A and B are shown apart, each in its own frame.
Chain A
């Protein structure tokens, strides 16, 4: 498979270029906070409920809120219909995504309560966990949940022995490595890191750097989207 033509990728991007990304804040009526994200071919919506009472009650913590995160793929979001409901992949993604946003949430403010994050993947095109985390982070801010920072996420990968930013489906399927990362760009703290494939140590360091710049770009978009929404409300 040919991944590059005249230095550009199949979808006409440079190796260090993100796909087009769009954030829409506060798109759901009933949720306390919500965000819709289009990231290349991905269409993802995140909703936040809470802080609210914990059910079942034995899950509650006396001194802090608990965070729950559900990553769920719509059956029609992929080429071949996905059987509805959680599978092993989505259980793992829910776990690491929850751990990705958990560190910036100030849980101590809400003892005995829960903050529930629901992420629905409406259309998938590689990088859904990252798109979900980006949406969730903005939805948390939209819900007014106190946070130390915003979490931004993107994937880095390797195709044709070249480290590239933000794989799309073909590159993900036929590429040599995939490494999603999430971080609080302001502090440089990495909250999610996964990798599979083949990377040399040099490629890994290069990938980490590239991922950092990708996250920084996304962080700016998230900030911008939130400002947009709340400036808009002021003017109404």
Chain B
């Protein structure tokens, strides 16, 4: 995201990084305050608004019965989309999703899918149809680290969601079969200092970032390096370990006891 940042600010942030400090006073591995509210959109089957600092995304989950894929007839379908709407940033423009929106959507999608967050085998319906689950991420305010906010929003909205069985004549509404709690943790490397939850400034001046999505037992479910910078094997290994333990902490803080089952 090509937000212009003054050279002087770049020097300032790098200068701080050298002292293991950040412009907003956070510790290197510290997230901005995370807030999750669920169920704000009554018309959606599930919804969540996530704020990480000033970054804000709204995720809506809609569900409807539909045809399964031919090669997996009993399995539910997940479709993820991200809208980088122009109200969220001066650098977003109207129009069809660009490569950043598509990448973001696909990383969020892979996190939900590959971690097995939803037991898709339980989404078949008696008439041969299956539930189609649409996860739509609406970015409202882009102040850095959209991936973590979007992934968290998707998970919270899915947990919050109720399958609208009654509306389609399949009996009473029920919640989704949630099996995993994938959490995305994104890091940037500024001059050898690894920072989690990069702010917009940090994200803009770091030439690359790495997102690590991990599950309940710390196992990795997805990863994505993004940007034109490079990372060494050592940096990658450090980030992955750090991200996996940070994810545990975030999961415990937000979902606490509900992850035990």
Contacts and interface: CB of A to CB of B under 8 A. Distances in A.
A192 B99 contact: no
Contacts, number: 92
A143 to B, nearest CB: 19
A99 B207 CA distance: 10
A8 interface: no
Given A102-B228, A198-B114, A92 B218 contact: no
Contact of A190 (B102, B105, B113, B232): B232
A208 B219 contact: no
Interface in A180-236: 184, 187-201, 204-205, 208-209, 212
Contacts of A41: none
Contacts of B208: 99
B233 A208 contact: yes
A111 interface: no
B220 A200 contact: yes
A193 B102 contact: no
B99 A205 contact: no
A128 interface: no
Interface in B54-109: 97, 99-100, 102-103, 105-106
B35 interface: no
B102 A92 contact: yes
Interface string A25-62: 00000000000000000000000000000000000000
A199 B115 CA distance: 10
Contacts of B13: none
Contact of A198 (B105, B106, B220): B220
A5 interface: no
Contacts of B100: 95
A30 B226 CA distance: 32
Contacts of A205: 237
B210 A95 contact: no
B225 to A, nearest CB: 4
Contact of A103 (B103, B218, B224, B230): B230
A74 interface: no
Given A88-B102, A96-B226, A193 B221 contact: no
A209 B225 CA distance: 17
A201 B244 contact: yes
Interface residues of B, number: 34
Given A92-B106, A208-B237, A193 B99 contact: no
B236 interface: yes
Contacts of A212: 233
A194 B99 CA distance: 16
A135 to B, nearest CB: 20
A94 interface: yes
Nearest to B97: A88
A99 B226 contact: yes
Given A88-B102, A91-B99, A201-B244, A194 B225 contact: yes
Given A194-B223, A196-B114, A208-B233, A103 B228 contact: yes
Contact of B236 (A94, A99, A208): A208
B135 interface: no
Contacts of A18: none
A133 to B, nearest CB: 13
Contacts of A193: 210, 223-225, 231, 236
A5 to B, nearest CB: 25
Contacts of B210: 193
A179 interface: yes
A92 B220 CA distance: 21
Given A208-B233, A208-B236, A201 B225 contact: no
Given A193-B210, A198-B219, A201-B219, 5 more contacts: A92-B99, A94-B99, A194-B225, A195-B222, A208-B236
16 contacts: A88-B106, A91-B102, A95-B102, A187-B230, A191-B225, A191-B230, A193-B223, A193-B225, A195-B222, A196-B223, A197-B221, A198-B115, A198-B220, A198-B221, A200-B218, A201-B240
Interface of B: 97, 99-100, 102-103, 105-106, 110, 113-115, 208, 210, 218-233, 236-237, 240-241, 244
Interface of A: 88-89, 91-92, 94-96, 99, 102-103, 179, 184, 187-201, 204-205, 208-209, 212
Q: Which 8 A-B pairs have the closest CB atoms?
A: A189-B230, A195-B223, A193-B225, A102-B228, A196-B114, A95-B99, A199-B220, A196-B110
